[in-house]
Amino acid sequence: MDKSTQWNLWYIVLAFLGVLVLHSYVQRWQQVEPLPYSEFLHELDKRNVRELAVYPDHIEGTLNQPLADGRTRFSTTRVELDLARDLSEYGVRFTGVVQSTLLRDLFSWVVPALVFFGIWMFAIRKIVGKGGLGGGIGNGLLSIGKSHAKVFVESDTKVTFDDVAGVDEAKAELEEIVDFLKDPKSHSRLGARIPKGILLVGPPGTGKTLLARAVAGQAGVPFFSINGSEFVEMFVGVGAARVRDLFERARLHAPAIIFIDELDALGRARGAWSLGGHDEKEQTLNQLLAELDGFDPRTGLVLLAATNRPEILDPALLRAGRFDRQVLVDRPDKVGRLQILQVHIKRIQLAAGLDLEQIAALTPGFTGADLANLVNEAALLATRRRADAVTLADFTAAIERIVAGLEKRNRILNPQERHVIAVHEMGHALVALSLPGLDTVHKVSIIARGIGALGYTIQRPTEDRYLMTRAELKNKMAMLLAGRAAEALLIGEISTGAADDLAKATNIARSMVMRFGMDATLGQVAYEQAPSPFLGPLPEGVDAGARHYAPETAREIDCAVRQLTEAAFQRATQILTQRRAVLEEGSARLLARETLNEEEIQALVSAAI
């Protein structure tokens, strides 16, 4: 309960007490001093009563002759007639008394009112919530049409471009936004206008929200942050009202930045839903489009938004004049990962001589959030072993934990299973070292990790790759199937340990046939749409969409995929057959030591040549 509500309650209580006091004084002023009922009967016997007013509980009247005190008006309380007659016979002076029912009457209607008022104060207000324009709006019924944006003033943001690394191109795109917010007049002196909306597009964890906050912190302006899902409600019109309220509040604080995270929850293409509920979402989107049309950037407002699903946004939202500019915030390359690591290691104690470039090389595909988690995990591992500084071994162990899962040394495997796993992992390592275009083997282990990994082979890429040729994809398939080929060669039996390898190799073969047009019999045709560029491929068993090819073509696709996987398996078997001695020696050494690093594997292979 805020202070204004408390003062209002005190005003009500004081006014109520004042009414009671005033009523008491009025009653005393108007009241006639009561006459004992016995004296009333005596005056009645003397024929001194002129007229009477009989009430249910008392009698008021006028006398012919005044009483001893000079009164001619009187009031007396009624007494039961038989009792009065008996008392008069014995000469008893008596009077009737009316019990005051003021408090009872007051409590009969005041207490229920107070009870209902208390229920409203403590129960209903929790549901209704409270509203205001100072940020932090409640989720109640009274504020249902209010925007739930969190407002960060200049002193609250505390994030600048120095805190964002690995996205130099995106920062360069947003620097002019900062210049405009700091000095709008000089920026528009030649007639140019700032873009109305800037859409940050990229995979999860790449720093889109951090970059938006850095723009606000660098410019020193208020920052309105809200998620796109907060506009969507079950009541039609609520989302549109929240959009209007958000822009109205931002105009009051201009210059300012409005940041809408997960824009795809609000700006999904109209008509793209398979179920009901179109009206609310479409009205909310229409209101946002209307606000962007009437949005004058010269007022000092900049609209930033972020999404990792740009392919499902409504085309009207992305046209020129609304979100004019789209800035890609992609996964960082090796140089970007090094810059991000340099930002995050400022708060930890590193060992002398630690090479951050080596850590950056070990983390291809890591986003900024992944690297921040990596630094924290490495610091935790060093703290757990009571070290004075974080070493390269801590970072390597943290990478393995993030990529492969938690190490499970307590999982007991029988000797036969450990032998199968050692042969399987050594098969991966040998084929990876034998074929060109594959990443260097960094570590091989038969220690179980994660949910289902009984062993693992970690490869270290020498450089970031963005394109792969048909030959390189086939080599990668051969490396994936080398574990099963090694089992068949040395043990004479295959196991279930290659389930994940089979799935990955099949996905590569299917993509080669259906998306990349790398099969001569099916021609240069794409039979499958690419998945979301930022959210990765769909999970196993999830249909990507309708098939636009004939059943005969589907059979040809299956045959082509099977031929590619069989060829990769035969190639891996051929390589391992030629290097069988190295495979046997390596699996025996891996079985004895459980883990082999890059130097030990290279020495093993070099000794066999």
Domain membership of residue 75 (yes or no) is no
Q: Which residues are bridge partners to 313 per DSSP?
A: 268
Kindly state the average pLDDT of the residues 285-292. 80
Containing 76, the helix (H) or strand (E) segment is: strand 73-77
pLDDT at 137: 40
Query: Residue 167 burial (CB < 10 Å; 0-12/13-18/19+)?
Result: buried
* Selection from 66-75, 260-269, 575-584 with the highest mean pLDDT: 575-584
Residue 112 lies in a domain: no
- Strand ranges (DSSP E) for 222-277? 223-227, 256-261
| The domain boundary residue, chosen from 404, 436, 465 | 404
pLDDT digits (tens, 9 = 90+) for 133-188: 334 444 454 455 455 556 555 555 577 777 788 788 888 888 877 877 777 677 66
DSSP-derived 3-state class of residue 74: strand
How far, in Å, are 53, 208, 209, 459 from residue 260 at the CA level? 78, 11, 9, 39
Q: Comparing 29 with 211, which gets the higher pLDDT?
A: 211
Please tell me whether residues 193 and 237 are part of one structural domain.
yes
Per this entry, what is the length of the chain? 609
Do 166 and 255 reside in the same domain of the chain?
Answer: yes
Tokens in use for 337?
Answer: 């990962």
Domain termination site, one of 357, 383, 404: 404
Q: Distance of CA 115 to CAs 108, 118, 483, Å?
A: 12, 5, 75
pLDDT digits (tens, 9 = 90+) for 115-137: 777 777 666 655 555 443 334 44
| Claim to verify: residue 264 and residue 297 sit in the same structural domain | yes
SS3 call for 252: helix
Q: Judge if 370 and 436 occupy the same domain.
A: no
Q: DSSP letters of 436-482?
A: TTPPEEEEEE-S-BTTTBSSEEEEE-SS--S---HHHHHHHHHHHTH
Q: How many CA atoms lie within 13 A of 11 on its CB side?
A: 6
Nearest to 327 by CA among 335, 318, 315: 318
Mind listing the pLDDT tens digit for each residue in 31-51?
556 778 778 777 777 778 777
pLDDT of the residue at 541: 46
301-307/197-201 β-pairing = parallel
Evaluate whether 255 touches 300 at the Cβ level (below 8 Å): yes
Q: pLDDT value at position 87?
A: 47
Label residue 328 by pLDDT band (50, 70, 90): confident
Residue 78 within any structural domain of the chain: no
Which of 33, 425, 463, 599 does the annotation list as catalytic? 425
Q: In the block, which residue shows the tokens 């479409």?
A: 282
Distance of CA 254 to the CA centre of its chain: 27
Residue 543 pLDDT more than 60?
Answer: no
DSSP 121: I
**pLDDT tens digits along 47-98:** 787 776 766 677 777 878 887 777 778 777 766 666 456 445 544 454 555 5
- Select the more confidently predicted residue: 218 or 93: 218
Question: Do strands 197-201 and 325-328 pair parallel, antiparallel, or not at all (unpaired)?
Answer: parallel
Note whether 300 and 259 are same-domain residues. yes
At residue 534, φ and ψ (nearest 5 deg) are -115, -20
Count of structural domains, the chain: 3
pLDDT at 496 over 80: yes
CATH at 554 = 1.20.58.760
Residue written as token pair 């000469």: 91
**Predicted local confidence at residue 198, as pLDDT:** 87
Phi, psi of 288 (to 5 degrees): -65, -40
| pLDDT, tens digit (0-9, with 9 covering 90-100), for 390-443 | 988 888 888 888 887 776 766 667 888 888 999 999 999 999 988 988 888 888
Q: Are residues 314 and 461 in the same domain?
A: no
In a domain? residue 448: yes
Query: Last residue of a domain, which of 296, 328, 360?
Result: 328
- What pLDDT band is residue 548 in, cutting at 50, 70 and 90? confident
Compute how many other C-beta atoms are within 10 angstroms of the C-beta atom of residue 546.
6
pLDDT of residue 505: 94
Taken in order 41, 45, 48, 53, the sign of the CA dihedral is: positive
Q: Are residues 256 and 316 in the same domain?
A: yes
Same domain assignment for residues 366 and 427: no
Instruction: For residue 568, give its domain range.
Output: 415-608
Lowest mean pLDDT among 147-151, 204-208, 480-484, 584-588: 147-151
CATH number at residue 376: 1.10.8.60
Let me know whether 591 and 445 are in one domain.
yes
- Check pLDDT > 60 for residue 582: yes
C-alpha span between 172 and 170 (Å, rounded) = 5
Average pLDDT over residues 111-116: 73
The pLDDT of residue 555: 92
Whether residue 425 lies in the annotated active site:
yes
Min mean pLDDT across 265-279, 300-314, 366-380, 486-500 is at: 265-279
| Averaged pLDDT, 502-517 | 92
DSSP letter assigned to residue 161:
G
Measured CA to CA, the distance from residue 284 to residue 432 in angstroms comes to 53
Mean pLDDT value across residues 518-530: 85
What confidence tier does 572 reach under pLDDT thresholds 50, 70, 90?
Answer: very high
Judge if 560 and 491 occupy the same domain: yes
Percent of all residues in the chain with a pLDDT value above 90, rounded to a whole number = 15
State the average pLDDT for the chain: 77
pLDDT mean over 574-593: 91
Q: What share of the chain is helix, strand, coil (3-state, %, to 5)?
A: 55, 10, 35
Please indicate, yes or no, whether residues 282 and 376 belong to a single structural domain of this protein.
no
Question: Cα–Cα distances in Å, from 202 out to 109, 303, 549, 590?
Answer: 64, 17, 32, 41
Hey, is 38 helix, strand or coil? Answer: helix
CB 174 within 8 A of CB 303: no
Q: Residue 356: inside a domain, yes or no?
A: yes
Q: Is residue 567 part of a domain?
A: yes
The phi and psi torsions of 255 (rounded to 5 degrees) equal -70, 140
**553 and 531 co-located in one domain:** yes
Please check whether residue 44 lies inside any domain of the structure.
no
What is the pairing mode between strands 440-445 and 325-328? unpaired
Q: What is the CATH number of the domain that holds 239?
A: 3.40.50.300
Reported as a single tens digit per residue, the pLDDT across 293-323 is 766 655 667 888 888 888 888 888 888 878 8
pLDDT score recorded for residue 204: 86
Which residues fall within 8 angstroms of residue 535, CB to CB, at 6 or more apart? 203, 204, 308, 309
Higher-pLDDT residue of 48, 509: 509
pLDDT of residue 61: 76
Residue bearing the bigger pLDDT, 457 or 30: 457
Domain for residue 361, yes or no? Answer: yes
- pLDDT, tens only, 333-371: 888 888 888 888 888 888 888 888 888 888 888 888 889
